């Protein structure tokens, strides 16, 4: 069994995205198992970097020496 490389599979996955027939028909045309196509589709979709909604903040030197004191309802500090 010949291993598939990302370079070989990316054009196939992109072609499938444009394909209007069934997955079974596409895989038969490509000589590919359906689970192999699914694997590479997941692999390529998970490698896309999604924005996290967080932004980077720089902490100034003045806040390095700050402390926090917690006061619990039972009197513990």
Q: What is the pLDDT of residues 19-71, one digit of tens each?
A: 999 999 999 999 999 999 999 999 988 766 666 778 887 776 665 566 788 88
- Name the residue range of residue 6's domain: 1-48
Is pTM beyond 0.85? Reply is: no
Residue 33 phi, psi dihedral angles, 5° rounding: -75, 145
Is 76 among the domain residues?
no
Distance CA 77, CA 73 (A): 9
Is 62 among the domain residues?
no
Is 3 among the domain residues?
yes
Is 19 among the domain residues?
yes
Is 72 among the domain residues?
no
Higher pLDDT, 53 or 10: 10
Number of structural domains the chain divides into = 1
Is 75 among the domain residues?
no
Is 1 among the domain residues?
yes
Altogether, the residues listed in the chain come to a count of 77
């Amino acid at each position: 069994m010949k291993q598939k490389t990302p370079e070989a599979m990316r054009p196939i996955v992109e072609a499938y995205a444009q394909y209007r027939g069934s997955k079974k028909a596409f895989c038969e045309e490509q000589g590919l198992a359906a689970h192999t196509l699914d694997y590479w589709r997941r692999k390529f979709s998970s490698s896309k970097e999604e924005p996290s909604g967080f932004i980077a903040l720089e902490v100034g030197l003045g806040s390095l020496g700050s402390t926090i004191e917690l006061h619990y309802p039972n009197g513990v500090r």
